Amino acid sequence: MKRYRLSKLDVKRAIKKVLLENDNTKELKEKQIKPKCMPENVIPLSEIVGYADEYGDYGRGISKRKSGVNSFVDTLGILNNIRLFKDVKDGGSHLAYDMMNNLNRFRNKNYYDETTGSCHKAMDKVIELYKENEHGTELVKDIERVLNLQTKDDQYTPSPRAKEYLKQCINLAKGQ
């Protein structure tokens, strides 16, 4: 059996080499996860929030804001109280579809935070702004609350199609 002798210098070099490789792999992982702000994948804050005074008529006596987090708040408010809106004949499927498409706009997009000077995922900002809204609590929980609505009269609950769209909204918000 052969014996190899390692000097202290050889041991220090080996340890240093292993430590440097571990640091490099950690840095590579952090760099891969960090979102990059490029002009084609950045959404301005005004689009994320939506315009507060830009209302659209959804039905007779029903108006909701057209885009952004404000639209999510209005849409979930209407779907949560669908029994009060007799003019909604499709069980809210059109509302849920619009919400899904609106949420899909923020998927794989980033938001440049001017205060920190860094890039963040736009969906994280959407969820944060929804929590800060006076009528919203948590986006996923509010969607689940609408999904679990049960009334005596099925005419005033979200339709099965609307529920499928809302399930997709949950997947989008969770980043799946």
Render each residue's pLDDT in the chain as its tens digit; 176 residues: 677 777 888 888 888 888 888 777 766 665 556 667 788 888 888 888 887 777 877 777 788 888 888 888 888 888 888 777 777 778 788 888 988 998 998 888 888 888 888 888 888 888 888 888 877 778 888 888 888 876 656 666 788 888 899 899 989 888 86
The reported pLDDT for the residue numbered 168 is 92
The reported pLDDT for the residue numbered 151 is 61
The reported pLDDT for the residue numbered 100 is 92
Rounded Cα distance, 14 and 23, in Å? 14
The reported pLDDT for the residue numbered 1 is 67
Measured CA to CA in angstroms, residue 104 lies from 41, 63, 87, 100, 169 at distances of 13, 22, 27, 6, 8
The reported pLDDT for the residue numbered 29 is 60
Rounded Cα distance, 79 and 58, in Å? 12
Measured CA to CA in angstroms, residue 92 lies from 23, 50, 77, 105, 159 at distances of 52, 21, 11, 20, 7
